[in-house]
């Protein structure tokens, strides 16, 4: 393909191998690798939008994406609106003639809402806007947004694709040639590229993606079922539970329900703190998608940069706890949560 590698920002063989791999996983034509998920997202906004354009995004976005949109990209004359609810029908009203992009995460973070990708694509296309899906939470093993009508898929490869919490990276997959050329130009011009070693680490992670995801999903299902019967827990958010409001939609557009669970403890910040202080196998940490189980408190950690009222109005309250279920023995995970809940 690339006849020669002239300069490593423009292209290098290991990055090209990763770019082909992520494109193949998402069943898209073109892949692009970046130095982080945020570099991928930054490059998409810079290359595809201009002053006056509007982006409609779901409200419970990854905190860093929202920070980038509201504190940096808005300074360049691009405006952002956040749609409440998970049904694209409900955010039709927020579309404007200037809307050029609809930005969706599904499952969302940290509330694990499911957005109907086909519906969102149709709605975006009716307005001549592009549908971007951040597929980090599902991974291409569980969900392929391009097949459902999305124009662009973005990943933080730091999470499930890398899978071992030992790298930071991002990726974009696009099938349309002209769109790809624009983003590829910006990838080189802006330079948010990964080094070859990080690309190699993601490639190595991808080799075990299928077996890791199978285990993440089966472990998470069991943990979610356990938590949903616990008397100290108010509500468990996991798309694999029949009680999840979009369980059927999740079943349709995903092949399984992923490794992320959120739940509301009965009590507030101090209650959560007591639980988080006593876990032994789960590590208190912000990331997700690695083989080791992690636990965190969104309102004081991953989503702390969002103003309190804004956060609470959408359900990210002080009672909310998020777990990234790893691939350890599930009985060990359940008993760890069980003993930590005794301290609540
Ligand atoms: C982590 C994450 C990002 C940002 O990726 P980095 O690799 O940390 O820059 C974007 N979107 C989602 C859904 C994420 O979980």
pLDDT in tens, 118-167: 999 999 999 999 999 999 999 999 999 999 999 999 999 999 999 999 99
Q: Whose CA is nearest to atom 6 of ligand 1?
A: 37
What was the pLDDT predicted at 303?
84
**238 is known as an active-site residue:** no
**Dihedral of CA 58/59/62/68: which sign?**
positive
CA 46-104-171 angle, 5° bins: 55
Per annotation, catalytic residue among 15, 62, 127, 336: 62
Q: Which two tokens stand for residue 241?
A: 């539970």
Q: Which two tokens stand for residue 74?
A: 């808005």
- pTM, 2 dp: 0.96
Q: For position 248, which CATH number holds? A: 3.90.1150.10
What was the pLDDT predicted at 314?
83
Q: How far is the CA of 225 from the centre of ligand 1 (A)?
A: 27
pLDDT of residue 2 exceeding 70: no
The 3-state DSSP class for residue 219 equals helix
Q: How far is the CA of 158 from the centre of ligand 1 (A)?
A: 7
Q: Are residues 252 and 174 in the same domain?
A: no
Separation between Cα atoms, residue 61 and residue 68, nearest integer Å: 11
Q: Which of 183, 206, 229 is where one domain is finished?
A: 206
On average, the pLDDT of the chain sits at 95
What was the pLDDT predicted at 60?
82
Q: Are residues 242 and 99 in the same domain?
A: no
- Total domains present in the chain: 2
Q: Are residues 102 and 163 in the same domain?
A: yes
Ligand 1 pocket, CB under 6 A:
36-38, 62, 64-65, 105, 109, 134, 136-137, 156, 158-159, 168, 170
Look up the domain containing 105 and give its range: 13-206
What was the pLDDT predicted at 295?
97
pLDDT in tens, 283-300: 999 999 999 999 999 999
Q: Are residues 60 and 101 in the same domain?
A: yes
Return the DSSP state at 320. E
CA distances from 198 to 40, 194, 210 (A): 15, 6, 20
Q: Are residues 165 and 224 in the same domain?
A: no
**62 is known as an active-site residue:** yes
Task: Using CB atoms within 10 Å of the CB of residue 210, give its burial: 0 to 12 exposed, 13 to 18 middle, 19+ buried.
Answer: exposed
pLDDT of residue 102 exceeding 70: yes
* Domain assignment of residue 5, yes or no: no
Let me know: does 149 contact 117? Beta carbons within 8 Å. yes
What was the pLDDT predicted at 306?
80
Average pLDDT over residues 82-96: 83
Q: How far is the CA of 37 from the centre of ligand 1 (A)?
A: 5
Q: Are residues 65 and 148 in the same domain?
A: yes
CA distances from 309 to 83, 93, 196, 304, 317 (A): 16, 23, 42, 11, 9
What was the pLDDT predicted at 39?
98
Separation between Cα atoms, residue 187 and residue 185, nearest integer Å: 6
pLDDT in tens, 236-293: 999 999 999 999 999 999 999 999 999 999 999 999 999 999 999 999 999 999 999 9
């Amino acid at each position: 393909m690339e006849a020669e590698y002239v300069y490593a920002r423009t292209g290098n063989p290991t990055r090209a191998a990763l770019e082909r791999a992520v494109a193949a996983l998402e069943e898209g034509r073109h892949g692009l690798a970046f130095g982080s998920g945020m570099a991928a997202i930054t490059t998409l906004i810079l290359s595809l939008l201009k002053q006056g354009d509007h982006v409609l995004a779901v409200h419970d976005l990854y905190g860093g994406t929202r920070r980038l949109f509201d504190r940096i990209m808005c300074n360049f004359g691009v405006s952002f609106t956040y749609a409440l609810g998970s049904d694209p029908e409900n955010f039709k009203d927020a579309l404007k003639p200037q809307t050029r992009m609809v930005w969706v995460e599904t499952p969302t973070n940290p509330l694990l809402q499911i957005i109907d990708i086909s519906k969102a694509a149709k709605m975006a296309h009716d307005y001549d806007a592009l549908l971007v899906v951040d597929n980090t939470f599902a991974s291409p093993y569980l969900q392929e947004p391009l097949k459902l009508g999305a124009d662009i898929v973005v990943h933080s490869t730091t999470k499930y694709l890398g899978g071992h919490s030992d790298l930071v990276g991002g990726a974009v997959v696009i099938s349309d040639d002209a769109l790809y050329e624009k983003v590829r130009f910006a990838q080189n011009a802006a330079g948010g590229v990964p080094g070859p070693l990080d690309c190699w680490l993601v490639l190595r992670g991808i080799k075990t993606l299928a077996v890791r995801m199978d285990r993440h999903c089966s472990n998470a299902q069991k943990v979610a079922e356990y938590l949903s019967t616990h008397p100290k827990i108010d509500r468990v958010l996991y798309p694999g539970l029949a009680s999840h409001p979009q369980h059927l939609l999740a079943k349709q557009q995903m092949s399984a329900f992923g490794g992320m669970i959120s739940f509301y403890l009965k009590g507030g910040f101090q209650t959560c703190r007591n639980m988080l202080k006593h876990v032994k196998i789960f590590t208190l940490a912000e990331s997700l998608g690695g083989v080791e189980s992690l636990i965190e408190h969104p309102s004081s950690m991953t989503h702390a940069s969002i103003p309190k009222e804004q956060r609470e109005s959408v359900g990210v309250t002080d009672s909310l706890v998020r777990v990234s279920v790893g691939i350890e023995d599930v009985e060990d995970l359940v008993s760890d949560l069980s003993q930590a809940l005794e301290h609540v």
